[in-house]
Chain A
Amino acid sequence: MLEIKHLNKTYKAGRPALKDINVSIGKGQFVVILGPSGAGKTTLLRSINQLITSDSGEIDFEDQNLRVLNKQQLRQKRQRIGMIFQNYNLVERLTVIENVLHGRLGQKNLWQGMFGVFSQTEKQEALRLLQEVDLQGFELKNCSDLSGGQKQRVGIARALMQHPQIILCDEPVASLDPASSVMVLDLLKKLTVEKGITCIVNLHQVDLALDYADQIIGIKAGAVQINEPKSQVDKAMLQALYDKES
């Protein structure tokens, strides 16, 4: 459902960030991107929904190349791709339920969006999603009063509010303690199994990756080094991925 073909990206300094990336990702897969820091994991993830504009190649999602869409078309496609962040990126000053409803902002017209007007059904759905991420009762709390794990679950609920086909997760558990990390990853895994949503996750913990992934993509110096189902990945491959010498 997501095909990345010959994707290239060079930063101004001239250092290639992504070199000829070719990856194919299926529906309902839990895909983990691994690699040493600075290898280009984040760049790859962010080029998928065009937060970073790449130089050349194709990103095919739902029969369209995201790289060539105009602004309006891109915004429509973005509604189908959720994203969660390492630092949660919630509007801390607003309530939990308002943050969840923000997932719908892309479908609003200008005035409804600016003033945050949401329908009764949308609010009900937000409440249901909060139940799903185990945050019932927190609806009217300010996000600034939540713990990191709770904030990340609000982030997931916000992404689900978009009815996404894919959720991109940029280091979703890097700022969390082990227990919360497991809870968040369990939740994401459940989404792939029960709702058929594809999750593409940047991780730096190899053990967690092996626990959850269906498919593992290893990136080193901007190039794909591993692209296999988890069962095909062995220790030697992972060691080579993190080895500084080769």
Chain B
Amino acid sequence: MKSLENGLNYQDLQTQLRQKRHKQFWTLLVVGGSYLALSWLLHFSNTIGIWAIPKSFSWLFINFVPHAQTMQTLPDILSKLLATIGLAISSAFIAAIFAIGLVSFCAPVMPHYLGVKRVVRLIASFLRNIPLVAWSMLLLFTFKQNDLTGFLALFLMSLGFLLRAFLEIMEDESSQIAEALQVTGAGGLVILCRGVLPTVMPQFVSWILYMIENNIRDATLVGILTGTGIGFVFDSYFKSLRYDLAGITVLCIIVVVIALENISAQLRRVIA
């Protein structure tokens, strides 16, 4: 009896293994096949692509190297960089204020919070999935070429992202603490301010820091599109073939992004 059972198990095992191997084989085939099909459909040449990488990097290291003249323009670049950092911070911070205001209505102690939550989720999805390009161009058209345009574009994007993140945190974190203050007889707003917000705030701040990092990168894109900030600086040097200056601009961006990444990692450790 026992040996029979073992025999059955052994057979089961074999078929299972075979099925697994089949599955792996087909997955690989489908993935590889669709990769080749996509390359062909998009006219992407893998050979050109592979060769372009070392070529581009060697080009980068030859042309992007700054020389003595470059340094004269550095203060100008730095001031634009500072303004861009300012934009990244202020857009994330103001977006956070709006986002906190909106998600506050989604705390479990607020009346009708389930309905409100659905609406806020919709707003978030809407804001986040409308391309940054669309916001930038639309804002450029009416607010013209200035920092405010960049600020507003980043603000709208950040608002969408932060809303979704904050909503999820609110869902995960707030019900227990809300209950604890409910039993003291406190009302919804009081529970929100004294219990829910203090509990979720550290995680919110962590997201705000992440948003600032991300905004610096996005600011480059927005800058190229709307002619503002560090993105514009890079774009104009790049297009006028002043590669040394474009190089130093990129270097500045790299330094700022990596520095911000490290600072926020440190801050998160302190806050958490």
Contacts and interface: CB of A to CB of B under 8 A. Distances in A.
Q: Do A and B have CB atoms closer than 8 angstroms in the complex? A: yes
Interface of A: 49, 51, 74-79, 81-83, 85, 87, 89-94, 102-108, 110, 113-116, 158, 162, 168
A94 B181 CA distance: 14
Contact of A102 (B179, B194, B199): B194
Interface in B189-226: 189-191, 193-195, 198-199, 201-202
Given A89-B176, A113-B190, A81 B195 contact: no
A88 B194 CA distance: 16
B86 interface: no
A224 B177 CA distance: 30
A15 to B, nearest CB: 22
5 contacts: A77-B185, A78-B185, A91-B195, A93-B199, A108-B190
Contact of B179 (A79, A89, A90, A110): A89
Nearest to A79: B185
Interface residues of B, number: 21
Contacts of A102: 181, 184, 186, 194-195
Contacts of B182: 51, 78
B173 to A, nearest CB: 10
Contact of B202 (A75, A93, A104, A162): A93
A156 to B, nearest CB: 13
A114 B185 contact: no
A162 B180 CA distance: 13
* Dominant SS among interface residues on chain B: helix
Contacts of B201: 93
Given A105-B190, A113-B190, A116-B194, A91 B183 contact: no
Contact of A91 (B185, B186, B189, B199): B199
Nearest to B186: A105
Contacts of B186: 75, 102, 105-106, 108, 113
Nearest to A81: B183
Contacts of A87: 176
Nearest to B271: A93
Contacts of A74: 185
B194 A113 contact: yes
Contacts of B179: 51, 85, 89
B198 A91 contact: yes
Nearest to A51: B179
B180 A89 contact: yes
Given A89-B177, A93-B199, A114 B189 contact: yes
A52 B201 CA distance: 28
